Amino acid sequence: MTLGAGQKSWDAKLQVRYEIVSSSMAGNPTEMMVTWNTVNSTNISAVEFGLNGEFSKTTTGYSSKFTEPEEGRVQYIHRVLLSGLKPGKVYTYHCGSPEGWSSLFYFKAQLNTTDWSPRFAVFGDLGNENAQSLGRLQEETQKGMYDVFLHIGDFAYNMYEEGGRVGDSFMRQIETIAAYVPYMTCPGNHEQYYNFTNYKNRFSMPNFNQSENLWYSWNIGPAHIISFSTEVYFFPWYGLHASENQMAWLQKDLQEASKPENRKRRPWIITMGHRPAYCTNSNHNDCTLEGGLVKRFFEELFYKYGVDLELWAHEHTYERLWPVYGGKVYNGTVRPYTDPKAPVHIITGSAGNRERHDGFGPQKEWSAFRNSDYGYTRMVIHNATHLSLEQVSDDQIQPAAQRKLASPPGIGLCMSDCSSAMVSDQGGNLWTALPSLNINMDLIHGSSHSRRGLCMSSCNGTMVTDQI
């Protein structure tokens, strides 16, 4: 159909299309931020939401004009903060305005206590092309397997390309996840174009007004999670103030999180930043260098404040490290990850993108396990003393003949409970939090801890290549 001159009403309606909806933690468990974009400006930015499928509440927010720098394309980013949510309740919502509404979505409000077990999907380096993990992550989202997503930098490849249409396409792809489960991010090197403009505009993380999604922290269950930018050190032409501001904020945030009263409630401190401090890949990236920038700026700080777990990406592989500080291994006394004496690092950048895989060089003594399959990490923070991780392979399919194997001797983890998950490596089956500064933790060891709940929810035919 061709519209003649003056026949613009149908077309105008189409332009007020509500798409690319995403949600994110707002920093307070009773709040949720909803973000979406439109091609045209609208009179108001509203979210109608409620329990039992009813739109009993309406909250309005604001919109910002986003002029994409490549071609000058204009779109409007809408942000609405929902508050007063009832913990654990499932809300249905749609967003828009009386001019037009989005599809119907839902989310589960976060629990407001420290004694629950949040479940995460964790990965980096997911692009539009060759997005190997996307289908499985979408399916597992719809099965209700996750409370939060952590995307550790490098989106779309690249959001600015084709006048931002590549960014639009990526956001549309992850809407199937992010409109239902909070999608938490940090910037990677692929976001650096035009001073991270697409990244800054398309997401709405906590502390957004101050740091434009570059650095922030939030609490969930028994954990304090810090997202920061490694990129401020690699693109100094955008201004040195960013690295200075981030470091000042980071020190203050770690200091606050480490106060005895805070660490007692939330003993886990977990960081996420794009470029790893360590890796054994066969390239010349920063993590392969003894004097790399990320080690230089963050290692001492994170060690000093007893950061438990450091999540990274950038390398298109998976690698798990023993507890490490200054290039030396500091394993725990009972098991490597039981009361470890230094932070543990996970590099999980193999979700899939057009650059394909990275290779590995010689393995170092601090490298516990590595794998170049496409995949992503599942993380469960069980309680104040136990956390578990498993790496899912998108390349390998669990052979039917192996689905009913018994557990590996002495481990007693998933295989006895879950007929379709397979463990190909176990470097230590339980994690415990680092003893924090100034408090004594009551550490619980393996025999008192059951992972049955985790395994049962993971029964979906995935191949797990690493599990700790």
Footprint of Fe ion (CB under 5 A): 154, 188-189, 314
Minimum separation from the CB atom of position 271 to Fe ion (A): 17
Minimum separation from the CB atom of position 328 to Fe ion (A): 27
- Characterize 197-236 residue by residue with b for buried, 16 or more Cβ atoms within 10 angstroms of its Cβ, and e for exposed: bbbbbbbbbbbbeebbbbbbbbbbbbbbbbbbbbbbbbbe
| CA–CA distances in Å: residue 390 to residues 120, 253, 259, 425 | 11, 28, 30, 10
Nearer Cβ to Fe ion, position 138 or 189?
189
Phi and psi at 130, nearest 5°, equal: 60, 40
Nearest to 77 by CA among 107, 41, 47: 41
Interacting residues of 62 by C-beta distance below 8 A, sequence separation 6+: 45, 78, 79
Sheet with 32-38, strands from edge to edge, namely 19-25, 32-38, 74-82, 62-67
Nearer Cβ to Fe ion, position 147 or 231?
231
- Characterize 315-324 residue by residue with b for buried, 16 or more Cβ atoms within 10 angstroms of its Cβ, and e for exposed: bbbbbbbbbb
Minimum separation from the CB atom of position 386 to Fe ion (A): 31
Nearer Cβ to Fe ion, position 32 or 126?
126
Nearer Cβ to Fe ion, position 154 or 308?
154
Nearest to 449 by CA among 402, 389, 388: 388
Minimum separation from the CB atom of position 314 to Fe ion (A): 4
Minimum separation from the CB atom of position 368 to Fe ion (A): 22
Nearer Cβ to Fe ion, position 141 or 230?
230
Question: Rounded to whole angstroms, how far apart are CA atoms 267 and 251?
Answer: 17
Nearer Cβ to Fe ion, position 372 or 383?
372
User: What's the gap between Cα 302 and its chain centre?
Assistant: 19
Instruction: State the sign of the Cα–Cα–Cα–Cα dihedral 296, 328, 324, 262.
Output: negative
Nearer Cβ to Fe ion, position 140 or 154?
154
